[in-house]
Structure 1
Amino acid sequence: MRSTLVRRSVVAASAVSLALLATACGSSDSKGGAKADASSSAAAPAASAAPAAKGKTDAELAPLLLTQAEAPKDSLVKAPSTAQVAALAGTTDKAECKPMVQAASMAPQGTSAGVARTQVSGTSGKAADPNASEADKVKAGLEMLSGVTGTSVTLTSYDGKGAEEAFTAFKKAGTACAGGYPMTQSGETIKVNKVAAGDAVTAGDEAASFVADFGDAETPAAAQLIVVRKGNTLATFSVQNLGGKPVLPKDVIDAQVKKLG
């Protein structure tokens, strides 16, 4: 049952698998000689404070998602249905690991003003030669299957310092949950065995990446979870493949973050 659950979770994630920080400052000049009185100085207007960043809504985030025309070659971009997102929803009884579960479930980190989702899938495998033997065709098919990778992309935007706080919580979770944690999806519990540092990501204002291993001896499985902050928006990438070796989708990340401006 465990291998079936893990396999189903990977397939589901593979099948369905940030905008602006407004700042302003004001300044004022005053002219006066040595005879300027104290009351005039006291009355001089103070520099206006920068307004708090306003998070984008679902409708404002949707156009910022990566499109088919902008995606890497040989990729398929498709928005997940409400039912598919619901099927991925996960929970954990380890509160410190909640940000990891949210990242894997296409759920917003913390409390966001808006959310938008899409999924970019592709394969690194190669089809068998049509003249190959049946055994070679089967082998090539299995290699292609193990190369199938799904990258779930979730954009979330926040008011004020919300994005920075949510990013910090995710980064802390990656370290706090190194020893693993349980995650429940659709009534079934998946045991994440361990969490380790993922591939380095340099996109956006700040980024963090972790690899969560939840496979077993029979079925290798792992997800690379990446969160990139750009201003007051987060782009979360959950990367899984059927071979248990989720490679960092640098081209997908770079293209998505570039679109955020």
Structure 2
Amino acid sequence: MRNTLVRRTVLTASAVSLALLATACGSDKKDDAKADAKPSGASSAPAATKGKTDAELAPLLLTQAEAPKDSLVKAPSADQLKNLAATTDKAECKPLGQAASMEPQGTSTGVARTQVGGTSGKAADPNASEADKLKAGLEMLTGATGTSVTLTSYDGKGAEDAFAAFKKAGTACAGGYTMTQDGESLKVNKVVAGDAVTAGDESVSFLADFGDAEMPMAGQVVMVRKGNTLATFSVQNMGGKPVLSKEIVEAQVKKLG
């Protein structure tokens, strides 16, 4: 059923925000995994243009101390990373599906991922009834603004080429496309230019509408290139236009030098 993937997309994107609820309810469960993508292998590119590895990118991710106030930085869980691979019915739209799924664009030398969560709702009192706790949880979910952050690095002009492909996809796929992930399909109705973002050497933003009358939803994806590294930000929202925090973008890009 189409709505299954739509709902799961929200749950995945809002994982960090919901962690705040779990903490409020007394949970002390910790992440059990970090991004485990492997470098793509050696390259003959000159040392000056050699891409960074997983280990070199990890310290460049936004930390809790650097994140906006009242947000929570948390690494993706093993379950989130297990089935990232997404396919699209139109080859030219693949970069958009990859960006929304925290997948590397093109052939990267390394990848690092994190999530920054924040909510517009309030968790229920720990002594509240189960019904009130559930209601508060749902309110937090619909107001969640969990942002996925993916860093990828490339040899030579790989970052420039990947950025160009992503930018081209936003225009080529304006009429929509279908994305399949973990055996389930999601219809993206349309893709339009997102709010302007000025950061790094070049940047671009797109908004994707993938909701319906029953559950209106949209997602925003921003890509910033800084040298031979790409920073990709993705956020989804239920019931309205998603707003990607410029503070998150600026703080993350600043760490890239």
Q: Decide: shared fold, TM above 0.5.
A: yes
Which AA in structure 2 matches 1:170? F
Gaps of 5+ in 1: 18-49, 130-135
CA–CA distance in 1 between the matches of 2:99 and 2:118?
Answer: 20
Shift of 1:10: 1.5
Which AA in structure 2 matches 1:161? K
2:105 aligns with one of 109, 112, 115: 109
CA–CA distance in 1 between the matches of 2:133 and 2:234?
Answer: 30
Which AA in structure 2 matches 1:185? Q
Match of 1:10 in 2: 10
Match of 2:206 in 1: 210
Shift of 1:76: 0.9
Shift of 1:149: 1.1
Contact 2:16/2:118 (<8 A) preserved: no
Q: Would you say 1:194 and 2:190 are equivalent positions? A: yes
Q: Would you say 1:219 and 2:215 are equivalent positions? A: yes
1:67 aligns with one of 63, 79, 101: 63
Q: Which has the higher contact order (CA 8 A, sep 6+)?
A: 1
Shift of 1:81: 2.6
CA–CA distance in 1 between the matches of 2:4 and 2:98?
Answer: 22
Alpha-carbon deviations, 1:76-98, whole Å to 9, x = none? 11111343122333111211001
Percent of paired sites with the same residue: 81
Contact 1:85/1:105 (<8 A) preserved: no
2:166 aligns with one of 170, 182, 196: 170
Match of 1:235 in 2: 231
Match of 1:55 in 2: 51
CA–CA distance in 1 between the matches of 2:78 and 2:87?
Answer: 18
Which AA in structure 1 matches 2:2? R
Deviation beyond 6 Å, 4+ runs, structure 1: 136-141
CA–CA distance in 2 between the matches of 1:140 and 1:117?
Answer: 28
Match of 1:42 in 2: none
Q: Would you say 1:159 and 2:155 are equivalent positions? A: yes
CA–CA distance in 2 between the matches of 1:221 and 1:60?
Answer: 35
3-state SS of the aligned residue for 1:80? coil
CA–CA distance in 2 between the matches of 1:87 and 1:51?
Answer: 33
Contact 2:175/2:191 (<8 A) preserved: yes
Equivalenced residue count is 225
Contact 2:153/2:159 (<8 A) preserved: yes
Contact 1:215/1:244 (<8 A) preserved: no
Match of 2:25 in 1: none
Equivalent runs, 1:78-93 vs 2, <5 Å: 78-93=74-89
Contact 2:111/2:150 (<8 A) preserved: yes
Could you tell me the TM-score, scaled by structure 1's length? Answer: 0.79
Gaps of 5+ in 2: 18-45, 126-131
Contact 2:153/2:229 (<8 A) preserved: yes
Could you tell me the TM-score, scaled by structure 2's length? Answer: 0.80
Q: CA-atom RMSD, angstroms?
A: 2.5
Shift of 1:139: 8.2
Shift of 1:11: 1.1
Shift of 1:227: 0.4
